[in-house]
Structure 1
């Protein structure tokens, strides 16, 4: 199957050949015949590479006939009946090409590499269907935000996680792509916020309000799974939800809630699709042998049960005054144990969130984190690979978050921490 770009290039070549044939000056026409034959040969070679054999034969027969006719024109430039035949054949070629099915051009725009699992299974299916799809993974830049002295949002730093993406995912530098010119058939996003987030913001070129101009279909896939089957109504009103042509959600229950809380309560038919979450797909298809831990981590967990300790930004915002005391308590429980190892994985945006919304505890939090890392008795995981932590651990401890919903799929033990209990063992 031809790509859309290739089809356009072939059509342009054939239209150029046709333009050469309609020259009124027979000497000019004769001078162009070699170039016309070469252009048809290039078109034929491309079709032979990208089209199924039976489909290619239809084009090949016609192109070969046109090339033979042009060779006769070289011998007799005045033979207008040959010109007429050639123009008719090329008219047929152009009509066929304009109706020739093309590969879908599908773009994925992850921003945080740690959230790539919300798109991965969709990308993988399209990537492996090379007959029908061309896929492009373009990690996009995002800014961390802080509140200034007047309480206004200000830029703290810019990031792009292109180097944190999995090695098996081909990625493209966003600076080399013009989406407006490319105009892909489909764009997938997992950031719905545009300018409504207090912690991070993607570059405004990648706001959903802009992207919808550059594609036939904008699709939003939530970067999270809903906890406890209850959707926060606010999530149904985000710009990415409003601007997307489709929103893929984890199940029918969540679909009904998105429809209920959508502004006006009457979303376009087919906007919300209960197709499951790629985050569940990733967990359910991964195995422990798929992962190799760093040597220093292997030493930490050797002959021990591994407890994944997940701390969420939601809990940090609700219990700001207690988070540091709770961390000290948990570290004290696990430090020095011979039977259990702690695998601490804070939310990827934990420090960004504290810096923007709870700056009064940031210094103490960072000091605790740095001490934990320096002592080296437990794992500190700030990588993009959440699934490795879920698959390689033996039990979950920590906050209520979407990670719990993923962990349930493993059938391993789960314990939710109580922020009120500090110092009780």
Structure 2
């Protein structure tokens, strides 16, 4: 579970706790609005069900926290049956307060406070550009990292899709791969998404599955990161001779939609900044300087040496 979803769960439990207090005030007043109270009870039940369903979709059945939410839901139902019995109402109010207290404690204990990141490569031959960051994420105890290769298609001259390609089985064997049909962005809502293809619908030759276009991904994560491919960066070495290609790469939708762009040298970082500034005005230069980052050449050499040692 991402930190964003975990935070959302805590917010929902806090809302249930506030509802319990509002319910207590309403039920202990000299006269209360029964219709309003029943609506409040119904809203709380709906919230508990929503939380339980989301938790089960991510962690499966049997999570003790879900059972506690089910107990809370049942207590809310029992309250609807005893609204005219002050003594029974009082006992149930205590139960509801204790159940939300326990649910909050269980959420803290049973759901680790970890960042969830997901990598969306599409070509196995380009995995090297993601590998260094993936290794760091994989080794971080406070991070859950998923590698979810996504399909891509050839494009016909009229823009329609033809050949289907999926290269998830071609990634290095030590990488645990999750099939894209088994990773729901709506369920996971990852804290950070790393993408490899920046072109979305603008490439005349190929297209990743439209479900993974950058403008869609931006809406289901806190941070979208585009990692430029080694080979793509190399094409910018001849910036003055390849202006059209450079502009297309640096101003591709994925680069513009991303919260962060990672390239593989300070030179490439400057190329991106210059091209984007030329296209959007000198007043935007500082924005691009904050958004474009480079992996130092020493880090790339470390990655390459590591791979060479593994192959020996």
TM interval, shorter chain, is: 0.5 to 0.7
- Distance in structure 2 (CA, Å) of the matches to 1:42 and 1:19: 22
CA 1:217–1:86: 2 relative to 1, 3 Å: same
- Distance in structure 2 (CA, Å) of the matches to 1:154 and 1:16: 49
Structure 1 length normalisation: TM-score?
0.47
Cross-structure match for 2:132: 121
2:118 to 104, 107, 121: 107
Task: Give the C-alpha shift of residue 222 in structure 1.
Answer: 0.7
Secondary structure of 2:267's match?
Answer: helix
Q: Note the alpha carbon deviations across 1:211-235, whole angstroms, 9 max, x for none.
A: 1111111100111253384445322
Q: Note the alpha carbon deviations across 1:386-418, whole angstroms, 9 max, x for none.
A: xxxxxxxxxxxxxxxxxxxxxxxxxxxxxxxxx
Q: Note the alpha carbon deviations across 1:93-145, whole angstroms, 9 max, x for none.
A: 859979x9931111110000111111011111111112x11111111010123
CA 1:97–1:196: 2 relative to 1, 3 Å: same
Instruction: Find out whether 1:183 has 2:183 as its counterpart.
Output: no
- Distance in structure 2 (CA, Å) of the matches to 1:210 and 1:11: 25
Q: Which runs of 5+ in 2 are unaligned?
A: 28-51, 53-62, 69-86
- Distance in structure 1 (CA, Å) of the matches to 2:183 and 2:292: 29
Cross-structure match for 1:53: none
- Distance in structure 1 (CA, Å) of the matches to 2:9 and 2:91: 28
- Distance in structure 1 (CA, Å) of the matches to 2:152 and 2:5: 30
Q: Would you say the 8 A contact 2:20–2:96 is kept in 1?
A: no
1:139 to 141, 146, 149: 149
CA 1:42–1:85: 2 relative to 1, 3 Å: closer
| Matched pairs, number | 241
CA 1:2–1:242: 2 relative to 1, 3 Å: closer
Q: Would you say the 8 A contact 1:184–1:215 is kept in 2?
A: yes
1:242 to 242, 256, 271: 256
User: 1:75-114 alignment to 2 at 5 Å?
Assistant: 87=97, 94=104, 102-114=113-125
How large is the RMSD of aligned CA atoms in angstroms? 4.3
Q: Would you say the 8 A contact 1:221–1:247 is kept in 2?
A: yes
1:257 to 258, 271, 277: 271
- Distance in structure 2 (CA, Å) of the matches to 1:195 and 1:2: 28
- Distance in structure 1 (CA, Å) of the matches to 2:99 and 2:211: 45
Task: Give the C-alpha shift of residue 165 in structure 1.
Answer: 1.4
- Distance in structure 2 (CA, Å) of the matches to 1:208 and 1:230: 27
Instruction: Find out whether 1:284 has 2:285 as its counterpart.
Output: no
CA 1:254–1:178: 2 relative to 1, 3 Å: same
Secondary structure of 1:167's match?
Answer: coil
Secondary structure of 1:119's match?
Answer: helix
Instruction: Find out whether 1:271 has 2:291 as its counterpart.
Output: yes
Instruction: Find out whether 1:155 has 2:176 as its counterpart.
Output: no
Q: Would you say the 8 A contact 1:113–1:161 is kept in 2?
A: yes
- Distance in structure 1 (CA, Å) of the matches to 2:7 and 2:275: 43
- Distance in structure 2 (CA, Å) of the matches to 1:164 and 1:191: 17
Q: Note the alpha carbon deviations across 1:261-298, whole angstroms, 9 max, x for none.
A: 0131425251111233776543132225x227xxxxxx
User: 1:305-384 alignment to 2 at 5 Å?
Assistant: none
More helix by share: 2
Task: Give the C-alpha shift of residue 87 in structure 1.
Answer: 3.4
Q: Would you say the 8 A contact 2:155–2:205 is kept in 1?
A: yes
Q: Would you say the 8 A contact 2:20–2:97 is kept in 1?
A: no
CA 1:111–1:2: 2 relative to 1, 3 Å: closer
- Distance in structure 2 (CA, Å) of the matches to 1:178 and 1:89: 30
Cross-structure match for 1:57: none
Secondary structure of 2:146's match?
Answer: strand
- Distance in structure 1 (CA, Å) of the matches to 2:280 and 2:5: 40
Secondary structure of 2:272's match?
Answer: helix
- Distance in structure 2 (CA, Å) of the matches to 1:5 and 1:143: 32
Q: Would you say the 8 A contact 1:4–1:103 is kept in 2?
A: no
Q: Would you say the 8 A contact 1:117–1:279 is kept in 2?
A: no
